[in-house]
């Protein structure tokens, strides 16, 4: 009986996380498609598996913005990241906290490498001809820190979609 209860709890958690990831993915996909003026069909995450993925492939969906905001910030040029990204979405206190956390993440990764316990989340949209393969919906800052530090491949959970 105990094993059955544990199994149900594990299955419930997997279902909960899958539904949470699906909501987060759909929100990110909707926002991205509006920002870039791209029509995308209804897409849903199906299954995920752990993989090692190329950093450049993970950043490809919005590389120009990432270079202008995130990577420039890590290179010591904070203006565009602050004005065009943070101030657009957050108040001053939240913006300051996010910028500080981003720099702390970089220093932690510089000292310890990429923490494989926190893989980035991507959906494999290669079949949709959007100009990139992976749609990153969690892990932009981690991926940017890896890129800045010269790390070529990072751990990810890659989701198949329908």
Domains annotated for the chain, with CATH where assigned, are 45-161 (3.90.1530)
160: phi then psi, degrees, rounded to nearest 5: -85, 155
The percentage of the chain sitting over the pLDDT mark of 90, rounded to a whole number, equals 73
pLDDT digits (tens, 9 = 90+) for 52-80: 999 999 999 999 999 999 999 999 999 99
Mean pLDDT of 11-20: 60
Tens digits of per-residue pLDDT, 78-128? 999 999 999 999 999 999 999 999 999 999 999 999 999 999 999 999 999
Average pLDDT over residues 23-46: 89
Q: Which two tokens stand for residue 129?
A: 């001809």
**111, containing H or E segment:** helix 92-112
| DSSP category for residue 84 | I
pLDDT at 153 over 80: yes
Measure CA 131 to chain center. 17
**Confidence grade of residue 46 (pLDDT, cut at 50, 70, 90):** confident
Q: How confident is the model at residue 6 (pLDDT cuts 50, 70, 90)?
A: very low
Q: Give me the pLDDT at residue 35, please.
A: 87
pLDDT range class, residue 47, cuts 50, 70, 90: confident
Q: What is the pTM of this model?
A: 0.86
Confidence of residue 16 (pLDDT cuts 50, 70, 90): low
DSSP H or E segment with residue 26? helix 2-36
Distance CA 89, CA 107 (A): 25
* In the predicted structure, residue 13 carries a pLDDT above the cut 70: no
pLDDT (mean) for 139-154: 98
């Amino acid at each position: 009986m105990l094993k059955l209860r544990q199994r149900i709890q594990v299955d419930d958690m997997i279902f909960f996380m899958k539904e949470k990831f699906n909501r987060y993915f759909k929100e990110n996909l909707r926002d991205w498609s509006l920002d870039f003026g791209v029509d995308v069909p209804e897409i849903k995450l199906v299954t995920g598996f752990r993989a090692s993925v190329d950093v450049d492939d993970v950043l490809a969906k919005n590389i120009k913005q990432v270079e202008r905001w995130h990577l420039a910030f890590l290179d010591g040029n904070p203006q565009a990241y602050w004005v065009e990204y943070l101030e657009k979405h957050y108040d001053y206190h939240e913006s300051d906290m996010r910028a500080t956390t981003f720099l702390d993440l970089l220093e932690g990764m510089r000292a310890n490498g990429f923490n494989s316990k926190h893989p980035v989340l991507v959906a494999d949209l290669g079949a949709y001809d959007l100009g990139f393969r992976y749609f990153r919906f969690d892990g932009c800052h981690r991926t940017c820190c890896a890129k800045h530090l010269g790390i070529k491949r990072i751990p990810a959970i890659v989701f198949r979609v329908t």
